[in-house]
Amino acid sequence: MFKRILRRLLLLFLISTAAVGIISEGVHLLQKDPTDRPPKTIELVIPVGTSSRVAAGEAISSLPEKMSFVVGDVLVVKNEDSVSHQLGPMWLPAGATGSLTLGEANKFSYECSFQPTKFLGLDVRKSTTWVTRLTALSVAVPATVAILFVYSILVWPLEPKSK
């Protein structure tokens, strides 16, 4: 009897791992976000004439008002304008380059001299990695096995072997 229970549990474990893995990866692919990637360096260039356009209240089309990042990304800001600019803790004299390492997940709103609104939003998220996805499987598979085991007993009862 113990061997049959063990065999059934093993079979249900294999079925559950396959089913949960397929469903989990399918959902991941359907809902994939641009931040589901490893950290990288992202360059932001402040073009020539930005300060005069910002003073006139014009938006600079090449500069986004909000940006999304992954924890560990490095934002490199290159100031090609003839005036100094500021982005949060970075002070960028004309022609200078500065970098900001984004080390924690959060929604930041930095003071920004090259935006008409005077603020730049940075959305920093944790990336979805293979470790995250395996963790999801390790939580979902045992619960699925337990549910399927109970239902399998109702459908195919474990009867003792006849003598």
Q: How confident is the model at residue 162 (pLDDT cuts 50, 70, 90)?
A: low
CATH number of the structural domain 41-125: 2.60.40.420
Confidence of residue 65 (pLDDT cuts 50, 70, 90): confident
The per-residue pLDDT of the chain, averaged, comes to: 89
Q: CA-CA distance, 82 to 96, in Å (whole number)? A: 10
Q: What was the pLDDT predicted at 33?
A: 76
Q: Residues 97, 59, 115, 54: what is their CA dihedral angle, to the nearest 10 degrees?
A: 90
Helix 130-155, helix 2-30: angle, nearest 10: 140
Longest CA pairwise span in the chain (Å): 95
Share of the chain above pLDDT 70, in %: 97
pLDDT in tens, 81-91: 999 999 999 99
Residue-range domain boundaries for the chain: 2-33+128-155, 41-125
Band (pLDDT 50/70/90 cuts) for residue 36 is confident
